[in-house]
Amino acid sequence: MTVSLVHERALWDAGARTVAGIDEVGRGALAGPVSVGVAVVAPCETWPDGLTDSKLLSAARREALIAPLQAFGVARAVGHAAAAEIDEVGIIAALRLAARRALDAIPVAVDAVLLDGTHDWLTPPPADLFAVESDAWDAPPVTMVVKGDRACASIAAASVLAKVERDALMAAAHADHPAYGWDGNKGYGAAVHLDALRALGPSPLHRVSWRLPTG
């Protein structure tokens, strides 16, 4: 599937001046942050050559796209929620927290959001006794796009930005915790990672509220 600006254009035609493509990386990892990329586009006609879902690209190709992506759209940012925050508030609220941090770093107003998938985790739930304080914010209106990271240029851009930045964080963390193999598995459940967890237990960067393997 080739990305396009069809979904973005529909929102521009409906009156949105800026559209943010949003995608997350690290949701299923056992260690490290969850990271949310935001790529904001105003009406345009082109996107970087080779842009697609970050999972379909080699690490070298993702890295090569970073410079072209800096010239694509009007703003971009990546936000993170740490493992300890995921343990404290849960993965969905942590995704919202990371997205809010990214959106707060964007220097332009965002009129509409294209979000990858089928579940709108960005829009805060109705307030109740169990609401997390960080959920109390006004998210832009969200349009869900199934496989949006392969269909929408803005979402694909967000996915690449988030993947490259999170991978760099995990590669840096590997230096302090080499036994878990994060330079290769980036905190996901690869065999070397699971074996190290059984032998050593969790590090400070593990999501200890998750069902981690033990000895």
Whether residue 135 is annotated as binding a ligand: the answer is: no
Would the pTM count as exceeding 0.85?
A: yes
The pLDDT of residue 214: 81
The pLDDT of residue 138: 82
The pLDDT of residue 205: 98
Report CA 115 to chain centroid distance, whole Å: 10
Whether residue 195 is annotated as binding a ligand: the answer is: no
Mean pLDDT per 10-residue run, the chain (215 residues)? 92 98 98 98 96 95 97 97 97 96 96 96 77 66 96 98 98 97 97 96 96 85
Residues in a beta bridge with 76:
39
Whether residue 87 is annotated as binding a ligand: the answer is: no
The pLDDT of residue 139: 84
Q: Which domains does the chain have, with CATH numbers?
A: 6-168 (3.30.420.10)
DSSP per residue, the chain: ---BSHHHHHHHHTT-S-EEEEEEE-TT-SBS-EEEEEEEE-S-S---TT---GGGS-HHHHHHHHHHHHTSSSEEEEEEE-HHHHHHH-HHHHHHHHHHHHHHT-SS---EEEEESS---SSPPPP-TT--GGG-S-PPPEEEETTHHHHBHHHHHHHHHHHHHHHHHHHHHHTT-GGG-HHHHTTS--HHHHHHHHHH---TTB-TTS-----
CB atoms within 10 A of CB 184: 13
